[in-house]
Amino acid sequence: MKRHFASIFAPILLLAALGLAGCDSMPGEVHGRLGPAPETTRTFQADPRSVYDAARVALARMEFRVTGGGPAQGRIEAVSGLSKKDSLQGTRQISMSVRIIALSEGGSEVSVTLKEVIEEDSTDRPGFATETPLRDTPYYEVFFGGVAQALATPKKG
């Protein structure tokens, strides 16, 4: 009985070890898709408060709703509107995290992380969603372009 157990267990253990070792042999493919969301960073020649206000304007133009953060914290959390999936039972949403820090040489650095939030079947299992980091998406450039445009537009007042 012990010998039979060992003859079954050993190949399974070997396959598991090879499978885990194989993840490192594919740089960027598997690890890049499963790793943390990448941050995209831009620098603006303005104080953090002005950049924060410009980021809020850019988010409003993109029709994102701010859900957290503030100018004193130097961060903004926002989400897009919900859109229906093809199955008409699931939903899709984009979440954005913005971090603004003052640079010692002047100006501000803005870092953005985007995630796609998908809820496959909101009628059967509400509240169960998956988050996937977004890498190659125009949302980054649209946001940074909106911040630059808002900073260049003189304030009414």
157 domain residue, yes or no: no
Quick one: pLDDT at residue 10? 58
Verify that 7 and 56 share a domain, yes or no.
no
Whole-model pTM above 0.95? no
The answer as to whether 85 is a domain residue is yes
pLDDT of residue 5: 52
Check residue 70 and give its pLDDT.
96
Q: Does residue 107 sit in the same domain as residue 118?
A: yes
Note whether residue 126 is domain-resident: yes
Q: Are residues 87 and 134 in the same domain?
A: yes
Alpha carbon separation from 53 to 3, 60, 78, 98, 144 (Å, rounded): 70, 11, 14, 12, 13
Domain that holds residue 20: 1-35
List, run by run, the mean pLDDT of 10-residue segments along the chain (157 residues). Answer: 56 56 47 62 97 98 97 97 67 94 96 90 63 90 97 79
21 and 64, same domain (yes or no):
no
d(CA 42, CA 91): 31
The token pair at 68 is 């957290």
Q: Are the beta carbons of 143 and 62 closer than 8 angstroms?
A: yes
Check which CATH number belongs to the domain holding 136 and give it.
3.30.530.50
pLDDT value at residue 48 = 97
| pLDDT recorded at residue 155 | 72
For residues 28 and 43, state if they share a domain: no
Instruction: State residue 143 phi and psi, 5-degree precision.
Output: -65, -50
Q: Are residues 103 and 81 in the same domain?
A: yes
What pLDDT is stored for residue 91 in this prediction?
81
Instruction: Match 């796609």 to its residue by tokens.
Output: 116
Same domain, 52 and 122: yes
- Total count of domains within the chain: 2
